[in-house]
Amino acid sequence: MGYGPTPQRQPLPGQDGMARIDGGPTVLIETLARRVGDANIRTSTPVTGIFEDGPKHVSVHIGSGEIITAQKVIVSVPLRVAAATMLLPWAPTALIDAMRGTPTWMSTHAKAIALYERPFWRDAGLSGRVASRVGPLVEVHDHSGVDGTPAALFGFVGWPPEQRRNDPEGLRQAILDQLLDCFGKVAASPLELVVQDWALNLRTVTSLDLSRYADHPDVGPSLLRQAHLDGRVQFAVSEASDLSPGLIEGALAMGERAALGVLGINL
């Protein structure tokens, strides 16, 4: 049985010309990781503190107990998460306040991805794009790879975090019902349905984000873009950017800025 009222089929504006990264955004990370090398990467062990180490160095403490000494450190952890979970004894109160005062954009949201054998909706001339005030997916897009492989639809979940947490099975069923309503019977039997909920990911969201949902971030204080501890520590987090804060473009801009900073070129 379907979930809601009969969907209307019509063109939606502003969806032409969207670009995709061949292989998905993961390719960016995999390419960078290859260049950095496995021996230089630690996974599944969070940074627990960053400390001043003599006049020229910084020591980074990680969950495994390892301490890494460096001349320069780039912090690429969401600002509120860093302020809440890391020891940063060198950081002035104004900096910690600026970090706490900067919500992580979309950190309370969730996405659902339905994987299929093929992008069957295209056979009917459908783009895969849905706009809905009924939900549970408020916005759906064709998420397929190049040439439709893998075939996928993704949507932003409109249910608030608490409802998602309390009724994950109800959410999955409601998503399948909605996809059935919009795209027909095949859509209700995906190979896989993944709900990725950032409101449950404590490396992205903090209790502060969950207590008060934020609008799209404005450009934050310049303190977030400056180097600290005599140039030894800087941030490369999207929300710190003065270009597209909160978006991927902001993260890339801050990454470039921090990399140049390490090379002694300050923007």
Ligand X SMILES: Cc1cc2nc3c(=O)[nH]c(=O)nc-3n(C[C@H](O)[C@H](O)[C@H](O)COP(=O)(O)OP(=O)(O)OC[C@H]3O[C@@H](n4cnc5c(N)ncnc54)[C@H](O)[C@@H]3O)c2cc1C
**Residues interacting with ligand X, by CB under 6 A?**
46-47, 76-78, 81, 85-86, 105-107, 109, 111, 198, 203-204, 237-238, 246-249, 251
Least distance to ligand X, CB of residue 63, Å: 8
Least distance to ligand X, CB of residue 66, Å: 12
Q: Are 229 and 52 in contact (CB under 8 A)?
A: yes
| Eight-class DSSP state of 33 | H
Of 119 and 161, nearer to ligand X (C-beta) is 161
Least distance to ligand X, CB of residue 58, Å: 15
Residue with tokens 């996928």, as numbered in its chain: 152
Pairing between β-strand 57-62 and β-strand 47-53 as defined by DSSP bridges: antiparallel
How far apart (Å, rounded) are the C-alpha atoms in residues 201 and 232? 29
Of 103 and 119, nearer to ligand X (C-beta) is 103
| Eight-class DSSP state of 159 | S
Q: Are 220 and 102 in contact (CB under 8 A)?
A: yes
Of 73 and 86, nearer to ligand X (C-beta) is 86
By the 10 Å C-beta count (0-12 exposed, 13-18 middle, 19+ buried), 163 is classed as middle
Of 81 and 193, nearer to ligand X (C-beta) is 81
Of 175 and 188, nearer to ligand X (C-beta) is 175
Least distance to ligand X, CB of residue 180, Å: 24
Least distance to ligand X, CB of residue 53, Å: 18
Q: Locate all alpha helices (DSSP H) within the chain, ordered by sequence.
A: 26-36, 79-85, 93-100, 161-166, 168-183, 207-211, 248-262
How far apart (Å, rounded) are the C-alpha atoms in residues 257 and 85? 25
Structure tokens at 129: 């794009």
Least distance to ligand X, CB of residue 55, Å: 26
Of 76 and 226, nearer to ligand X (C-beta) is 76
Amino acid letter for position 91:
A
With CA atoms as reference, report the closest residue to 69 among 86, 88, 53: 53
Least distance to ligand X, CB of residue 46, Å: 3
Of 105 and 188, nearer to ligand X (C-beta) is 105
* Sheet hosting strand 57-62, strand order edge to edge: 47-53, 57-62, 67-70
